Amino acid sequence: VNDPLAAVLREIVGTQNVLVDPGIRAAFETDWTRRFHGVSRCVVRPGSADEVAMVLRACAAEHAAVVPQGGNTGLVGGGVPRGGEVVLSLLRIDGIEHIDPHLGEVTCGAGLTLGALNEAAGAHGLRLGVDLAARGSATVGGMVATNAGGINVLRYGMMRSQVLGFEAVLANGSVIDRLEGPAKDNSGYDLGQLLAGSEGTLAVITRLRLRLVPVLPHSAVALFGAPTPEAAIDLAQRARAHFDDLEAAEFFLPEGLDLVRHHTGASNPFRRRWAMYVLFEIASRKPDVLERFAEFMDTVPGLGEGQMDGTFAQDAMDRKRLWALRERHTEAINSEGVPVKLDVAIPLARLPRFLDEVRGAVTSFAPSARAIIFGHLADANLHVNILGADGHEEAVTGSVLRLVAALKGSISAEHGIGIAKSHWLGLTRSPQDIAVMRAIKRALDPEGILNPGVIFTDTARPVTPPARRR
């Protein structure tokens, strides 16, 4: 309460927007997975870019570290304090300033949630091209800061592909305004693309102009059971070749299906257990989606002969039911304990080998741990969730990520590096590459105020170690 910095911040944003009470701060200090937790100096909630600029100047004057935070749904610990930082919450900067239905654009505050954006855009028959299960809480600023991917990447690209303009505040309080202007603009470096995936280490994003895509009125969802990962990959490639309006190609494994069924009470859509389940969605302006799925099914070898199984949703309820089997994985896993969450990409041809070897990589360090794996098959992006690795989290993480690196994959496909993977950056980025990234960080944030310890371990200041909480 007597912190002089908090007093300065109250002058800027008002007393009610500087949270010092530990009970009220708590929700901002623990991440969604409950794996990362730290006590903040205070939580400050500015209401405009100008207030963000003043807050950052005040923090810089005190050499106080700042953790930008949106909806706190990030999965790598980059949005919560490690200990002693000021949490800068963007949730009050959530206005929808303008939706242009003709150009398919929205201008909005960075703290707007994906759900609220889609609700407003939906009135114009539009939505954001990136969709993910955390849509109720994830903010568009956080989604740009993490370059979020999600379930429609194969059709619309990742979050960076949706950014048409931005406003952001640097650590020294200067405001970069590139909100307006033509979509085609090659006047120098594309700073908006630099901020996509910067995880709050380069600037605080305050406003965004984002591309919107049409809500397509007709969609069809089908779920397949495949006997091997190779057969599932072949199926996904056939679907990509067959449909020019494929929106999603997702996968999960039998252990994950069991867990989701246990957690939600859902029934098994198939009579037997398959090695891999693949969910497809197509969406179109034309109503013939079910017929086209039926045609596709006729081309799948082994279907109906016991070598593969498939079912497609007949109505909206059915679609939701099939999607729930994939989308409720994260919460089902979380209900079992605090998982080690890894988000990797593997060149598609090596994916079966990864699936073969990953369990050994886990159990060699944590014999009783189990890996629940699901993800975006079209992007060869696997979410590897390890339960029961208690006390061996770092060893298991290293073991899996070394396997990923050996297979020439990515140690972070869409969640970012954050705190969780900063020790492992060197596995897939060369020293030269890391030197360039550090130079960019120094150029934009020379005092290391913004999100110390995120991406690069040695930008971390001495802080109290994160407490592990269940």
Nearest-approach distance from CB 150 to ligand FAD, in angstroms: 4
Binding residues for ligand FAD, how many (CB under 6 A)? 38
Among 219, 385, 410, 451, binds ligand FAD (CB under 6 A): 451
- 199 lies in the site for ligand FAD, by CB under 6 A: yes
- 75 lies in the site for ligand FAD, by CB under 6 A: yes
3-state secondary structure of 66: strand
Angstrom distance (rounded) from CA 79 to CA 66: 10
- 32 lies in the site for ligand FAD, by CB under 6 A: yes
3-state secondary structure of 442: helix
- 67 lies in the site for ligand FAD, by CB under 6 A: yes
Nearest-approach distance from CB 366 to ligand FAD, in angstroms: 23
Report helix, strand and coil shares of the chain as percent, to nearest 5.
Answer: 35, 25, 40
- 378 lies in the site for ligand FAD, by CB under 6 A: no
Tokens of 398: 């290293």
Nearest-approach distance from CB 121 to ligand FAD, in angstroms: 17
When CB distances to ligand FAD are compared, the closest residue is 142
Contact segment (CB under 6 A) with ligand FAD among 96-104, 185-193, 317-325, 413-421 equals 413-421
Contact 268, 257 (CB under 8 A): yes
Among 454, 456, 459, 466, binds ligand FAD (CB under 6 A): 454
Angstrom distance (rounded) from CA 227 to CA 19: 54
Residues 6+ apart with CB under 8 A from 239: 246, 249, 280, 296
Angstrom distance (rounded) from CA 90 to CA 74: 14
- Angle (CA) 70 377 126, round 5°: 50
Among 132, 346, 373, 378, binds ligand FAD (CB under 6 A): 132
Among 82, 207, 415, 441, binds ligand FAD (CB under 6 A): 415
- 68 lies in the site for ligand FAD, by CB under 6 A: yes
- 333 lies in the site for ligand FAD, by CB under 6 A: no
- Nearest of 92, 96, 90, 88 to residue 115 by alpha carbon: 96
Q: Write each residue from 134 to 173 as x if it is in contact with ligand FAD (CB under 6 A), else as -, in one continuous string.
A: x--xxx-xxx-xx-xxx-----------------------
Around Cβ 269, how many Cβ atoms within 10 Å? 18
Angstrom distance (rounded) from CA 381 to CA 412: 9
92-111 residues near ligand FAD, rule: CB under 6 A: 110
- 79 lies in the site for ligand FAD, by CB under 6 A: yes
- 65 lies in the site for ligand FAD, by CB under 6 A: no
- 87 lies in the site for ligand FAD, by CB under 6 A: no
Q: Please give the distance of CA 446 from its chain centroid, rounded to a whole number.
A: 27
- Nearest of 420, 419, 425, 421 to residue 438 by alpha carbon: 425
DSSP lists the bridge partners of residue 179 as none
Contact 327, 254 (CB under 8 A): no
Contact segment (CB under 6 A) with ligand FAD among 69-77, 223-231, 261-269, 398-406 equals 69-77
**Interface residues with ligand FAD (CB under 6 A)?**
32, 67-75, 78-79, 90, 110, 132-134, 137-139, 141-143, 145-146, 148-150, 199-200, 204-205, 330, 414-415, 418, 451, 454
